[in-house]
Amino acid sequence: MTNHLAGGKVNISLLQEHLRKELLQLVDKCDGPKAIVWDEALAGPIGIIAKYGLLKDHNVQKMFPLKNGKLPPTNVKNIIFISRPHLHLMDMIAENIHGEERSGIRKECHLFFVPRRSQPCETRLQAKGVFGNFNFIEDLPCDIFPFDSDLLSMEVDLTFKDFYLEKDPTSLYQAAQAIMLIQMLYGKIPRVSGKGEAAAHVWSLMGRLSHEDRTFPSISQIDHLVLLDRAVDLLTPLATQLTYEGLIDEIFEIKNTTVNLPAEKFSDADDEPNEIMIDKKQVILNSGDELYAEIRDKNFNAVGAALSKKAKLISSQLEERHTDQSMEKMKQFVAKLPHMMATKKSLAIHTTVAELIKSVTDSNDFLDSLMLEQELMMGVDTEKIQTHIEDCIAHQQPIVKVLRLICMQSATNSGLKQKVLDHYKREIIQTYGFQHILTLTNLEDAGLLKVQ
């Protein structure tokens, strides 16, 4: 059991244990030494469910990312592919299997779909001539992954695009299945509220799934479920996050509760050698770190004072060892020492992270963008062409940043005047390339950009 998952109001480690059991049952079906070939997008989420050490106990000897071409040589009996049901991944798997066939060494191949198989994927494998090579094709129903005591994620990046552009409701079915799994573990949720088309769709799917033979605990640990369609509020995700955790994600991108930071900034810290990669340091961000749990949701302007207060507290606690103490108090100090040293190490890490963030938030470019966002939120000059957006385009800043600002202007002004939208489109296409005609069209189709 992972302690930080069990520390919330609902014991999320129950979900972790359930998913781990599902994974290991499938792995154990393959008798003998095994190599797992991961869809790279699943390696992080499933790594939270079952660490490599646990998989080694179940005779998994090698693990490889799923890539085009031939697999690295392995002396194992079984090759297990774990993949999402995407067609381009089926092409990679087919290449891997053909490579194994050319090597002349017979191995048993197995395929586990996460969260479940799809008919187009099976058809693609048949067309590639490898469908019959699999001893087992199974579903690994990991519809939702536990990342923290208050955070679960389906890890489906393109849900909004799939539903509103492609008219594909598959991810909504996965959401309904995930909620049913949560209810099987924590009890049937007595009250459900929702807003938006997608929320209504998920509720309808939950109603159908409830007719299946399922067993729920008699007492529910969750009182109220709120389903929100992202389309109800398109403005919030466009604005810059200003909490400590939010700015880490904005600047460095958090993936699977882990962030990669410049290693040279941490070279003086007391790090183990395996924690630092060649040019990046991995920092795990979850509520298992008490200091991070305390400051993660604070506005960044309040983080410096919180870190300073914690530094003074740790310093005063460590100074106690120099005072005359009774044997009993000395024993108490020694018992608290590991926790104090862990907090001191965490403090050094988060102080460095805060300095990295501050170097960005103090820049003129960041402050100008933030000022424009705040003006747009207050309805100031939302109808006219924004000089700052033009400057961002002229300096070829990341196009995602430019599009966020334009979409925010559209959202706060109930759409853009035709001449303003045409001006932005012309500037983007001339600066970033004609391929972004499709990008702009998709934003209009999704409702993020519109004409007044």
Task: Label each residue of 429-444 as H, E or C.
Answer: HHHHCCCHHHHHHHHH
Please tell me the predicted confidence (pLDDT) of residue 322: 64
Q: Give the pLDDT confidence score for residue 125 in this predicted structure.
A: 97
Q: What is the mean pLDDT of residues 31-59?
A: 93
Mean per-residue pLDDT over the chain, rounded: 92
Q: Decide: 299 and 243 in contact? Cβ < 8 Å.
A: yes
Question: Can you list the domains of the chain with their CATH numbers?
Answer: 4-143 (3.40.50.2060), 156-232 (no CATH), 244-355 (3.90.830.10), 364-446 (1.25.40.850)
Check residue 4 and give its pLDDT.
86
Using pLDDT thresholds of 50, 70 and 90, give the confidence band for residue 8.
confident
More confident residue, 76 or 275: 76
Q: Looking at per-residue confidence, does 277 or 452 come out higher?
A: 452
pLDDT band at residue 237, thresholds of 50, 70 and 90? Answer: very high
Q: How far is the C-alpha of 452 from the C-alpha of 431, rounded, in Å?
A: 25
Residue 438 vs residues 30, 228, 259, 432, 450: alpha-carbon distances, Å: 45, 28, 31, 12, 15
Q: What is the pLDDT of residue 336?
A: 77
**pLDDT-based confidence at 90, cuts 50/70/90?**
very high
Q: Is the pLDDT of residue 184 over 80?
A: yes
Rounded to 10°, the helix 364-377/327-361 angle is 80
Identify the pLDDT of residue 321. Answer: 67
**% of the chain at pLDDT higher than 70:** 96
